[in-house]
Amino acid sequence: MVAPREIIALSDSAALAEYLKTKVIRVKYEIRTYDDFVVKGNTAVLKCYVPSSVQDFVPVISWETDEGFTIQRSSSDSKYKIIADGSLMIEKADLSDGKKKYRCICKDEMDNESVTSIPWGQLIVTEPTTLQVPRIRSGSREHNYKVGATVELYCIAQGYPVPSYTWYKQEGTRMLPLSSNRRIQVLRSSLLIHKASKIDTATYVCVANNSAGEDRIHLQLVISEHLRASVYPEKLIVKEGISVTFTCNVTGPQITSLVWTKNLKPVITSARTKLISSEVLQIYSVMREDKGMYQCFVRSHDYSYQGSAQLSLEEDPPDLRKFSGQLLPRVEDIFSLSSDGTLYHNPGRLYVPLYYIQKKNVLKGDKVVMRRISWVQFDNTLLAGGQRLADHRNGTLSIAQAAKGDQGWYHCEVIGGQGEKAMGSLYIRVVERPVINPFIFGDELMEGMRTMVVCTVLAGESPINILWLKDSMPLLHSEHRDGIHVTNLGEFASSLTIPSVSRYHAGNYTCLVASGAAQASYTAVMNVKASPKWVKKPKDMEVIVNQKVVFTCQAEGIPEPIHRWKYRPGDGSAQPADFRSVVSSSHMYVLENGSLVIRDVEKQDAGLYLCEASNGVGESLSEVVKLTVNVPPRFNQSFEVKTVKEHEEVVLSCDAHGESPLTVSWKRYQRPIDRSVLSRYVLREHVHPNGLKSQEEKSIQLIVQAPPESPEGMQLLQVTSRQITFSWTAPSSGNSPITGYIVVYNQSRKAKDEPLESVRVPATETKVTITGLNPGSTYVFKVHAENALGRSGPSQDLTITTEEEAPANSPQDVRVIPLSSSMVKVTWKAPSPSSLGYLLGFYVGYRDLSTNDPYVYKTVDISKQERLNEALISNLRRNTKYAITVQGYNSKGAGPASKEVIVQTLQHDFRINMPIDMLSRFVR
């Protein structure tokens, strides 16, 4: 805390800001962290509560756990993050997070010290037991950022299953989904916008949803430019009679007011001083009284700023009002002035160095010797060293504890080594510091009272300017802001009056006095006692057994109200005497913010609860709320399996137990059953249909059994002359295991009423090899599937022809008849019908028995033969014996030959006038 008489330069905006900052009276405060609850797997938030009176100067810089782990604001940890308001966000909270304790660490910018919260906060992690619809934590829905800042929007919900998040930007009636890009990051429950611009001003919607439902929140984001004000030109040095113009250049959001001041007093317009517009101030024919400090104060809804400019006259004497941004000497000031005219602070003394020396020409390399330097005061008194004066060898004169009598001209004389002289002069003006009579507001101010203080200037040079500030912000004379009235009581006094004090008037009030180049200030603290006032009243609650309930009861007042909870069982009317105090336990306890928490609610917790808030000022507050505890419905079995045969009737029972009234609803595949559409459903209800207090589900799996469906996907794998292999695809089992397959088949040329061949195949196989088939034969195959309820329909037909073999049997009953001396007729019967394949014809062999010649064969092509199973062999020798054989053939080759038949051609031919082929018909 600085001395009440400390002086600053209001013409330097940076110095003003530093001054206003240091003028805040040091107050005692505590930073607190409270316990919080979270469902396992959700995002948790622990808040750091800093009193509003010091929030601007005490930011959160880090968090730490009782295990020594520190989380910084710049931490890149994906689990822990400090968000914009200083709260600690913990992603995917688990049971291990509940075993730690947390506290926040803040930096007090007033004394540059670290402050830790008390007590430690703990995260209470609960296991989910039922479905929970997502609920988004309440918080600020309006967010204001400046252009270029990084925007952080948060949407933190709790639910089970853990909710997922979707972000949208609302444009009119459209909802545009957001995804990450170079400037925007969508990070689950948070949305970051880097380098924000005014086009980002919009409503952003966050939707948190899971299988139980959804919740959404609309966040209004406003991006505005920084409020800035500057006066051009910043410094003007003109002659009397010249006209000047000051322009207040404002950038940023829409301003609500702009006020011009001169030396901290409102500018009064006249014939010479006019406002061309609210931003332009023009002074015609400048006079001596116009010089001074001009400022424009601008204010928007949320911020204020000021710009300043100095108007000086060329004829002003060198009173050293300001050099290089520092103040000039005042009574009791200690300062040093160098030859370039810059004032330096040097504790203990006032140094006046050589201000001017006459020009003297010397040759390069010559040595210049100053033999003697002497100082003479304005009355030609030679100044010598003493208790307050010190004449240094380097030409500097120091004056300790400057007084009004030290004001005037000072001359110095320098005598060189050859007797040459140089003279310099300096004028010192000593300004008396203003003295303020202390004032106080008193310690017993309460809301509704009136108060007035007077700031009186006991000493100081005219003109005197008085300015009031509240919490470092100016209270201009032309305003009656928030019921605060500022009135000038002449040049040397000003009053501050509040006709009706409220809690919002509490703060630091500063009287700032400017007298020429000197300033002084005095600050008094106004403490207002205020009776309790509801911030959030408790409300009736209705919960289910084993759930958690939190009654929020928050009141504000000065001093901070104390919250007390009382309980009375039952729900009838009650008197305050009927209630008994709530004793904190692990089951029921009161948080430091006044909220009542009941964990794992029991039936006997139902009743009336009374919250009282009092602080010893005025009447206390009280509110009675009702807690209703419901027993949820339950089932003896939450899951049941029911099996029924197809086309049979089945009854599904839903026997619920719980408090009446109960309502039972049926769903199929999570959709309500519409009995008006599905007439096969009949619902018999034995409950009273009324509103649900809670709900419970029972699932019944209905299995309808039927014979399997027909096999599909018949596919030939391999075929030979006597066996084939084929496969199929297993069909739907009909909700009963397939016990096997039946393969049935027959030859396509057999009569339809002939019995079918069948082969059983195990259920584990979906292919079969059929053997014992006839070569060159066509078969038709079908497959049936079978289970305990019956046999399926047949599959599609699979028609397959086996490959052929050479004939296995020889022709039977071979006969040979000689027709002439050179021709015989051969007849035979076809081989026995062994189905070896289709015969293409016969080979008829013959040879002369009187020689060793091999058989000569004649081919009989059935397709070209008109008469089957006979052949004529001609060109034989007369009266000669021949051996005759016959064998069938097909595409695979010739079969075995028949036994030889011996025949002898005729010796003499008959003379019959008949063709040979006709003759052969008669010869049998």
Predicted structure pTM score = 0.36
| CA-wise closest residue to 558 among 435, 463, 678, 446 | 446
Q: Which two tokens stand for residue 188?
A: 């689950």
HSE-CB at 893 with a 13 A cutoff on CA atoms is 7
Q: What is the per-residue DSSP string for 848-902?
A: ETTS-PPPEEEEEEGGG-SSTTEEEE-SPPTT-EEEEEEEEEETTEE-PPPPPEE
Q: What is the mean pLDDT of residues 472-489?
A: 74
Whether 532 and 561 have beta carbons less than 8 Å apart is answered as yes
* CA nearest neighbour of 496 among 515, 524, 529, 519: 524
The pLDDT tens digits of the residues spanning 416-449 come to 766 676 777 777 777 778 899 999 998 888 888 9
Distance CA 402, CA 349 (A): 9
CB atoms within 10 A of CB 46: 21
Structure token pair of residue 175:
């909802």
Burial class (CB in 10 A: 0-12, 13-18, 19+), 141: exposed
pLDDT at residue 2 tops 90: no
Pairing of strands 60-65, 48-49: unpaired
- Residue 918 host element (H or E): helix 916-922
Would residue 285 be called left, alpha or beta, if left means φ above 0 and alpha means ψ between -120 and 50 degrees?
Answer: left
Q: What is the pLDDT of residue 17?
A: 43
Position 403 pLDDT exceeds 90? no
Residue 617 confidence (pLDDT) above 80 = yes
Q: Is the pLDDT of residue 394 over 70?
A: no
More confident residue, 881 or 385: 881
Report CA torsion sign: 818, 819, 821, 827. Answer: negative
Instruction: Transcribe 285-332 into DSSP letters.
Output: S--GGG-EEEEEEEE-SS-EEEEEEEEEETT------EETTEEPPBTT
State yes or no: pLDDT of 732 exceeds 60.
Answer: yes
Rounded-to-integer distance, Cα 681 and Cα 674, Å: 9
Model confidence over 739-768: pLDDT tens digits? 999 999 988 766 566 778 899 999 999 999
Between 54 and 551, the higher pLDDT residue: 551
Rounded Cα gap, residues 414 and 359, in angstroms: 12
Q: Residues 281-321: pLDDT tens digits?
A: 999 989 988 989 999 999 887 778 889 999 988 754 433 33
Beta pairing, strands 36-39 & 121-126: parallel
Placement of tokens 């853990």 in the chain = 162
Q: H helices then E strands: how many in the chain?
A: 2, 81
Over residues 692-711, the pLDDT tens digits come to 455 667 777 788 889 999 99
Give dist(CA 439, CA 449) in Å, integer.
18
Sole residue written with tokens 């195959």: 781
Cβ atoms 863, 842 nearer than 8 A: no
Question: Is residue 589 within 8 Å of 30, Cβ to Cβ?
Answer: no
* Alpha-carbon gap, residue 62 to 60, rounded angstroms: 6
Q: What amino acid is encoded at 815 in this protein?
A: R
Separation CA 735–CA 639 (nearest Å): 19
CB atoms within 10 A of CB 281: 23
Chain centroid, CA 410 distance in Å: 73
Average pLDDT, the chain: 80
Whether residue 450 is predicted with pLDDT greater than 50 in this model: the reply is: yes
Distance of CA 763 to the CA centre of its chain: 54
Confidence category of residue 268, pLDDT binned at 50, 70, 90: confident
- Comparing C-alpha atoms, which of 8, 157, 24, 132 is closest to residue 473? 24
E strand or H helix at 184: strand 184-187
913: its two tokens = 């006038």
Closest CA to 558 of 525, 589, 585, 582: 525
